[in-house]
Amino acid sequence: MNCKDPIGVIDSGVGGLTVLPYLQRLMPHEDFLYLGDTARTPYGIRSRQEIATMVAEMTAWMEDNHIKQLVVACNTITVLGAPTIRGLHSFRVVGMSKGAKLALTATKNKKIGIFATDFTVSTQAHQKAILELDHTAQVFSQGCTKFVPLIEGEQFDTPELAAVVREYTDILKKDGVDTVLLSCTHYPFIKKEIVALFGPEITVIDPAEETAADALADLQQHKLDRKDGKGQVTICFTADLERGRRLASRVMDISQCRFKQVDLHSK
Ligand code: DGL
């Protein structure tokens, strides 16, 4: 592994693109290679075995592309097993931050909500991380199955999205939370809509910036960080390149990015 090798970033689809700008901002000299499995998204409604098989294909592709670090910019894949990925490959692996400290710092009434995929909720990973730090906190987890298909399907500013955001925010409002973690990287695409319905008394937290800080600290610790270089970004999708490009432009400056469609089964 060489410090000039790129940092790989993976997600089931376009979700990890909400993390990429934080990574770029913190590490402007690094090259990034993004892979979104838009052909098979969403992952969060699938079984553990199905997700594991698809993740193995993505990480093998990253290995072939000689990355030095993999940022798992997907909570579902992170809770499925970032440590397992770490054991199978030579590159470094950093998962999504669970945001436990951020949430506990923000909350006043210690009632914390989690918006995540059904798979992530089923593992209780975020709940456990929060309770480990403060067992007096109360955690309310809400699986938001309907969000990802609407986001991947570019259904922004539609009555369907508005209704679904209302449905999920109402549930956590009834629970009395004052802080909510966005524990799926797709959800920052609709953070504005979520914040609007929660209102000013509920703090909405995206742990992407903390994840970027974790990635940089990991590289520095292993002397793999790069102090010069142009910071090239290549964004790959397994399907629908144009849709991916349009969605990317909603969350980042794509003027300097290269886009490519890739086939994970081409070997
Ligand atoms: N972006 C993902 C996450 O952070 C997964 C969404 C999905 O594929 O269901 O959990």
The answer, yes or no, to whether any atom of ligand 1 lies below 6 A from the CB of 42, is yes
Which residue out of 144, 184, 236, 257 is catalytically annotated? 184
- For residue range 110-120, what is the model confidence (pLDDT) as tens digits? 999 999 999 99
Residue 149 has pLDDT above 80, yes or no: yes
What does the pLDDT read at residue 5? 97
**Strand order through the sheet with 69-72:** 92-95, 69-72, 7-11, 32-36, 233-237, 258-261
Return the sign of the alpha-carbon dihedral for residues 111, 123, 94, 251.
Answer: negative
- Cα–Cα nearest to 61, from 85, 84, 41: 85
CA 240-47-38 angle, 5° bins: 10
Report the alpha-carbon distance of residue 252 to residue 267 in Å, rounded.
32
CA distance 4 to 132: 38
d(CA 61, CA 50): 17
Ligand 1, atom 2: closest residue by C-alpha: 74
pLDDT value, residue 68:
98
Query: Residue 235 pLDDT > 80, yes or no?
Result: yes
Q: Is the dihedral of CA 92, 98, 99, 100 positive or negative?
A: negative
Q: Is 169 in the pocket of ligand 1 (CB under 6 A)?
A: no
Q: Please give the residue that has the higher pLDDT: either 267 or 90.
A: 90
Q: Is 183 in the pocket of ligand 1 (CB under 6 A)?
A: no
Q: Give, using CA atoms, the residue closest to atom 9 of ligand 1.
A: 44
Cβ 6 under 6 angstroms from ligand 1 = no
Say yes or no: CB of residue 44 within 6 Å of ligand 1. Answer: yes
Tokens for 138, please give them. Answer: 């109360």
- Catalytic site includes residue 3: no
Report yes or no on whether pTM surpasses 0.85. yes
Pocket test for ligand 1, best of 9, 10, 12, 48 (most atoms within 8 A of CB): 12
pLDDT, tens digit, 9 for 90 and up, residues 31-49: 999 999 999 999 988 999 9
Residue 74 appears among annotated catalytic residues: yes
Instruction: Kindly tell me the number of DSSP H helices and DSSP E strands found in the chain.
Output: 11, 10
**Tokens 């290995």 — which residue?**
63
Which sign, positive or negative, has the C-alpha torsion 233, 235, 241, 245?
negative
